[in-house]
Structure 1
């Protein structure tokens, strides 16, 4: 396995600090101390704390997007693609709960910041890749007719809601144990025909 880059080490140190102290209470100095990087290195890679926040957010969502794209390459049916949207999300959240919690609570901050346009473009591209992966199945009528944004909410909405509650410690169910159930519910909610 490749050694993490200095930039990745800084991001992981930032995540640890944000998790322990909160985003607002974390300082550049705390991230520097945790990562072992110099202030010059931090500023070279990111420029400021807000850019670290945005970079960490974008890196996490990119990891999920990559996981999903690799899965689409192997999925051979409309059902497999829909279930993949749910299972990939759950798999990433369960493997990265602190990062998922950070993403959940930081979206509006990143959108309002100087890299908000980068986030919006990344989300637009991610959504376009999902729609492209499903396009032929939609043309074949294998999904019920729903507007694109509604389709996405129906598929992933219940999973995101349970994940949000699981991350906050408000569920009795383990998120990973609900993986197949939520994937099946998503499929049944959007499949076309009889």
Structure 2
């Protein structure tokens, strides 16, 4: 990598880090080009050069953290010796991630992230295919082995992640959920909803 390319990567990282700090301190309304350039010490021209717009910067920030979250989700299920253990590991990992990275959780569960997901769902799925494929393979493998109910993968994804995302949003916005208690209770409840034998 040339020195110029390295400087470009460092500048992009400075802008991404600053955007997250500004978002954490000032929320979506405070996330402006001027606020990010002030917080990063990087010029407005550099922001536009690297990301094209504020939306481009925020989308890059979302993708950066979504990739990290998906990577941790894959690691959680890959080390589990059964479908039930994998569900438990996934739930605990997700809630711990949100608790540890509250500002990231706010961004990933924000209306802006929802809007991006609705507008560019196919592109996001394609961009994260390398991360999603191991999760899909993990679920499919347990369906084939008869541990998990033979439901469409989209339904299984909703049954597994829906409650976890709902609890995370509530903790992030209202703060009236005990995430440690949720980590104890949710795995078994979710497992009951997807296991092959409902008895």
Q: Given the superposition, is the C-alpha separation of residues 176 and 51 from structure 1 closer, same or farther in structure 2, using an over 3 Å criterion?
A: farther
Counterpart in the other structure of 1:179: 183
Instruction: Return the offset for 1:170.
Output: 4.5
The number of equivalent residue pairs is 189
When residues 162 and 120 of structure 1 are mapped into structure 2, their CA distance, relative to the original with a 3 A threshold, is same
Return structure 1 stretches of 4+ with deviation > 3 angstroms: 115-118, 122-128
Residues 112/157 of structure 1: CA separation in 2 closer, same or farther (3 Å cut): closer
Change (3 A) 1:108 1:63: same
Q: Which has the higher helix share?
A: 2
Give CA deviations for 1:61-103 in whole Å, capped at 9, x if unaligned.
1111111122233222111222223122112111111111112
* Structure 2: runs of 5+ lacking an equivalent: 1-8
Structure 1: state its 5+ residue gaps. Answer: none
Residues 177 and 36 (structure 1 numbering): CA distance in 2 closer, same or farther, change over 3 Å? farther
Q: Does 1:107 align with 2:91?
A: no
TM-score, scaled relative to structure 2: 0.82
**Equivalent residue runs for 1:59-74 within 5 Å:** 59-74=64-79
Measure how far apart 1:17 and its partner are: 1.4
When residues 72 and 159 of structure 1 are mapped into structure 2, their CA distance, relative to the original with a 3 A threshold, is: closer
Displacement of 1:44 = 3.0
Kindly indicate whether the alpha-carbon contact (under 8 Å) linking 1:64 and 1:88 is maintained by their aligned counterparts in 2.
no
Q: Does 1:149 pair with 2:158?
A: no
| Equivalent position of 1:189 in the other structure | 193
CA distance in 2, matches of 1:189, 1:117: 27
Contact 2:19 2:36 in 1 (8 A): yes
Residue of structure 1 in register with 2:4 after alignment: none
